[in-house]
Structure 1
């Protein structure tokens, strides 16, 4: 097999996942990351079975710091009334999908992925900012990546995994291509258990469950991580940030004011908060292609399909991307650099429709969780009530336990997806 020289721009979750699977497939991989360290940017992640089965297969999951499998999943209305509830949620997920649903801190996963990549021989260069990409003039040409220090890397394939504000995307399109506001923002909160003094609240954190509060134009998700020592709360509300501001420190008074009159359990948690960040939630229009015309650049993750966090699939889907991309470049079906265009087209065929369908589903979840009081909200709550305490049947307003959406999201197996596609093609690209 021809061993490819692969340069990945970005050491986020998609880039590190791609680096692991590309290395396992036998290629030389370099990851270039502009950050000086893999630090605690962001907050919690909900890792669903479509991702955790990959992390287990790669030997990453067991090395992560304190992932928590929630015992319950509950949806409350904003006044605190239970709309939906599932006991033994984590056990049920394992039984149905043979992989865990777990809550983790983003940096814990990122560092575990980086360690596995390093063990596989991936070269990870931090504090390295890419400023120029040269794709050559013809399909099959090698590409050149230039950094801010003038260092050049030659690659058979560049993987643009540089996130929402992807420079690779703009370079490939030949124009500045900024993401678009969704109209929502997130207050992201991480509480250490020591900050929570009320025994009842502390017990909620230590007896882990996923909790949602849904209300007019807003909703909240909260869950435990790091072995039940940390509580992650995300408040999703209308965006009031200036157009040019993507993230800023938030006001705790403003935050608490937005949720005045909501469930006292939630507002008690918010009283424990001493600092909070505001993040503008952005999206992008669908791209015609994730692959450049020379077939030596492919975009993955948030660079091509950023997602609202309303189904927790941004990270999970990005890791799927990295796995599928590495798998289509594995022998015996991939043996020659000349097959790269076909391999990339297969990757895109397998991933683009799913990624974009998940994006659309997140907007549907936002709609169902953000209904203002009125006839549509009453109809939604009646549907919730009709299924409470029963096995859910049919379409359901919370896709987290919806029997139509959950299997499609969580049952996805990247390895099987590639195997089936190759079997259909007679194991050839």
Structure 2
């Protein structure tokens, strides 16, 4: 349980991964936490997530239920294919090498399993959840949060963690602020093992690996979930959704046509799809600061640094935010120390998060090259290192010896503790 000491009263807006991670971390730091969530229930919806070591390290530290780990799939290989199916890069013993390098696993989880595990842990720690509470306004002079239902919640600190379409960001800025299209959209697909009739493909799902297929202006990624009983496919393609439409049901035949002539393994998997949704991929401009002038309102996660899904760091980085915030607030013994704590948090998190967000755009460029001279140079870099230990910059950041260590090797809790120790007791 949370340590008995002076505690702030913290309101977290949003029960997604950023919000519940912040709730768990702040409760472990000894503070009283209330989470406001617009949804009527934490529904059994969503698709797969790739939890890289910088994220799984936090889940271990938070002592999440074993049931979540039992549902994980730990990939033994990571392969990058040209869209025809030809292998460009392959990391064998991926699971063993990741554990050896970083001390924790790379796991693929269904979002529901992760969210429910965090929710259970938060409730164990005394976090209060109020569902069906959509935020109308944040008043930082009090500070307080008013919801559309007319309820008013008072706190010492308000944490805006309500995602890409954040209402708290609009309150923070004092103006409407819609996300901007990136020019890409995602088809998100989850197949159960029962849906996949071909024995060889069932075996593919049962023995977890990660596969990328990269092609002109598009790529696909597939990996197992639910301990090898489910397969997650994400197809990243040029955006053709109307302006103002962020999600709509996809046409299966139209989707298949986009991948005509690609690897037969991929197209066969697409043949089992019976429904699919299209999601417009959005981004936001960097904010000058994530903290308001009164130092009692902070944004975290997708509300301030949304990421393209090309490195799977949206969820992992959001969990890092929650972990760092709670760890730094562990040192706070009175409200007067909040300004110092929040600015320490922002200094620790902002540059890293924005650097990763930029890296996702670079990965898109390397995975979406049109056939031609640049693509041929890229493929030569790939194939020249097939079967060898990678050196230098590499077109797939998932195994790149330059990029992977600074993303996967990061420990948000340890870095926050070091930051707090360097400054000693947080100054008033």
Say whether 1:52 aligns with 2:56: yes
Compared with structure 1, are the counterparts of its residues 83 and 275 closer, same or farther at alpha carbon in structure 2 (3 Å cutoff)? same
What is the deviation of 1:423? 2.8
Q: Can you list the C-alpha shifts for 1:220-256, whole angstroms capped at 9, x where unaligned?
A: 0000000111000000000000111000110100100
- Name the residue aligned to 1:255: 255
Partners of 1:7 and 1:155 within 8 A in 2: yes
- Name the residue aligned to 1:121: 126
- Name the residue aligned to 2:356: 358
Give the Cα separation in 2 of the matches to 1:151 and 1:421: 37
- Name the residue aligned to 1:420: 418
Partners of 2:51 and 2:316 within 8 A in 1: yes
Secondary structure of the structure 2 residue equivalent to 1:7:
strand
Partners of 1:56 and 1:62 within 8 A in 2: no
What is the deviation of 1:3? 1.2
Q: Can you list the C-alpha shifts for 1:258-286, whole angstroms capped at 9, x where unaligned?
A: 00000111000000101101000000000
Give the Cα separation in 2 of the matches to 1:297 and 1:90: 40
Partners of 2:220 and 2:234 within 8 A in 1: yes
Which stretch of structure 1 is more off in the superposition, 374-383 or 91-100?
91-100
Give the Cα separation in 2 of the matches to 1:282 and 1:353: 20
TM-score by length of 1: 0.97
Partners of 2:218 and 2:235 within 8 A in 1: yes
Aligned mate of 2:71, from 54, 66, 69: 66
- Name the residue aligned to 2:237: 237
Say whether 1:308 aligns with 2:308: yes
Q: Can you list the C-alpha shifts for 1:41-92, whole angstroms capped at 9, x where unaligned?
A: 3310000110111101111163315111001000000000000001111111
- Name the residue aligned to 2:16: 12
- Name the residue aligned to 1:376: 374
Aligned mate of 2:399, from 401, 407, 414: 401
Partners of 1:247 and 1:280 within 8 A in 2: yes
Say whether 1:104 aligns with 2:102: no
1:246-325, aligned counterparts within 5 Å?
246-325=246-325
What is the deviation of 1:151? 1.2
Name segments (4+ residues, structure 1) moved above 3 Å.
Answer: 426-429
Say whether 1:169 aligns with 2:169: yes
What is the deviation of 1:150? 1.3
CA RMSD, Structure 1 to Structure 2 (Å):
1.0
Give the Cα separation in 1 of the matches to 2:20 and 2:426: 27
Partners of 1:52 and 1:61 within 8 A in 2: no
- Name the residue aligned to 2:92: 87
1:379-394, aligned counterparts within 5 Å?
379-394=377-392
Which stretch of structure 1 is more off in the superposition, 277-286 or 123-132?
123-132
Give the Cα separation in 2 of the matches to 1:421 and 1:349: 10
Give the Cα separation in 2 of the matches to 1:63 and 1:415: 24
Secondary structure of the structure 2 residue equivalent to 1:227:
helix
What is the deviation of 1:419? 2.1
- Name the residue aligned to 1:342: 340
What is the deviation of 1:427? 4.6
Give the Cα separation in 1 of the matches to 2:360 and 2:154: 38
Say whether 1:78 aligns with 2:76: no
Give the Cα separation in 2 of the matches to 1:21 and 1:277: 33
Partners of 1:17 and 1:319 within 8 A in 2: yes
Partners of 1:55 and 1:61 within 8 A in 2: no
TM-score by length of 2: 0.97
- Name the residue aligned to 1:179: 179
What is the deviation of 1:36? 1.2
